[in-house]
Structure 1
Amino acid sequence: MRFADTIAFVTGAASGMGLATARAFAAEGAVVYGADISTEALDREFSGLPGAVPLPLDIADSAAVDAAMARVAADHGRLGVLVNAAGVNAPHRAALEMLNAENEKSFQAMKTGVPHHSVFIESVSDDDFDRVMKINAYGVFYTTRAATPLLKANGRGAVVNFSSAAALMGVTMPPYYPASKAAVLGMTREAAAELAPFGITVNALAPGAVDTPLFRQSDDDFIDFLIGMQPIRRTASPDEIARTVLFLASEDGAYYTGQTISPSGGLVMH
């Protein structure tokens, strides 16, 4: 198995791409610490998963992140892989419902030819912007900072950060999401340059349409519209994304660092 004797830490591990990634590492022999704010979902999904350790964690809390990594240090003294998959596209339910409603208005306007111009920048509060940045950007910083000594102690390692196709294109949406995901790309490149001398690679994924519970919260017609923008007109499965993560963390991906790979069905080409 490719990851026997590997210690992995995966955030956002209770659902979607994070869960698929945690399962994939476990299937390849790794000990997987799965972190997520949803304790109930984490316990349910990790029950009976060999080599998996559920860790309830709010990655926006730096002290909690430090404590979680301290547990890994106490258990193993090292870490081979860090996957930052946790993230949100809205700070709370009301903001998500507003986003979905605006997307539906824009979609209907395109079908009817009646102009509709969404207003997001003016309607975002300081608290909403801060909350998304704390999870999507600060959370990646907190985990990377806490994990770095353990990755160095391992002698080599890999970090894979989840960004988004929205960080690479002009998308009309609340600015906290593309801003936070673009910040992840900057941190990825900096960490890649700094940690390369220690045998640690750092790369980012910028997925497009992936069939997760979060993605399926949008209206079906709007989802079909989004998929129709891609040359490959389907969603990706979380397992497909997980296999890309495993590649980047494996010996096969050892010459990749500081890269942004966009599994987006051709929505992003560069």
Structure 2
Amino acid sequence: MGLNGKIAVITGAASGMGLAAAKAFIDEGATVYGIDLRRDGLDREFSRLPGARGFALDIADSAAVNEVFDRVASEHGRLDVLVNAAGVGTPSKEAQDLVDQIHGRALASMGTGTPYFPEFLTTISDEDFDRVMAINVNGTFYTIRAAVPLLKAAGGGSIINFSSVAGLMGIVMPLYYPASKAAIVGLTKAAAAELAPFNIRVNALAPAGIDTPMFRQADDETVEALLSLQPLKRVASPEEIAQTLIFLATGASAHYTGQTLSPSGGALMV
């Protein structure tokens, strides 16, 4: 039922939920191949993790993604778990600064009672939209495509994709993020249907506020506004989410596929 002896690939593994997953999986006895864009973060964190191997690359580069899975194939001939934790909320510091400015104006207007209607649509460039989609959607597709032959060779396994509560609710924010995260839900369901005959389960997580570097890019006012949507008024830790990942990665969740679980503090209730 556990992960002892299992082989896992985790994207976004240098920090946040990806790093928490890598640590938790190794504690459960898995061998972890971690992928992240930041070599310094991988080198720093993975040097402390026995049984972990880090690969610095952009998951929007399909050829680079394929090279990692070729390495897994040559060393193990199989794969048991894929966790797609890599993702971006905004494509640049400039884009994040603009989001913070707009949220600041919105919160100020709430305090004064002056109407303010945030507008993101007309501020988004082609390049910003394409970059977020390339990482969050294309990158997830590339890793799944590369992983499937190895999962089939193992006789089955588990794929876990990261969506977001923003992809399931109507939240005023830059459209590239909820669009990309809603796409992950559709991708998860279609892959789950296709891969079920091979005992490969595909599920998604749609978290809300999680204490990660990406979440902390937002200013305090934005964080408070997001928490106002949750009945549970706190930010969850990556380690909490890692326990859900272990559940979805093991036989404990053997009858779960095509599902989107939402650890969102009650922001989404279905």
Fold shared by both chains (TM-score > 0.5): yes
RMSD: 1.0
CA distance in 2, matches of 1:103, 1:81: 38
The offset of 1:221, in angstroms, is: 3.0
**Letter of the 1:21 counterpart:** A
1:213-239 deviations in Å (ceiling 9; x for gaps): 221222223312321321111111000
Q: Which residue of 1 aligns with 2:95?
A: 95
Is 1:228 aligned to residue 228 of structure 2?
yes
The offset of 1:254, in angstroms, is: 0.9
TM normalised by structure 2 equals 0.98
Deviates more, 1:62-71 or 1:119-128: 119-128
Please show how residues 207-222 of structure 1 align to structure 2 within 5 Å.
207-222=207-222
CA distance in 1, matches of 2:118, 2:225: 17
CA distance in 2, matches of 1:258, 1:152: 18
Q: Which residue of 2 aligns with 1:8?
A: 8
Please show how residues 139-154 of structure 1 align to structure 2 within 5 Å.
139-154=139-154
Deviates more, 1:32-41 or 1:106-115: 106-115
Please show how residues 58-207 of structure 1 align to structure 2 within 5 Å.
58-207=58-207
**Which 4+ residue blocks in structure 1 deviate beyond 6 angstroms?**
none
TM normalised by structure 1 equals 0.98
Percent identical pairs in the alignment equals 58
**Letter of the 2:192 counterpart:** A
Ranges in structure 2 where 5+ consecutive residues have no aligned partner? none
The offset of 1:108, in angstroms, is: 1.5
CA distance in 2, matches of 1:248, 1:106: 38
CA distance in 2, matches of 1:108, 1:166: 23
**Letter of the 1:260 counterpart:** T
Deviates more, 1:47-56 or 1:132-141: 47-56
Contact 2:34-2:52 within 8 A present in 1 as well: yes
1:154-194 deviations in Å (ceiling 9; x for gaps): 10100000000000000111111111111111110001001
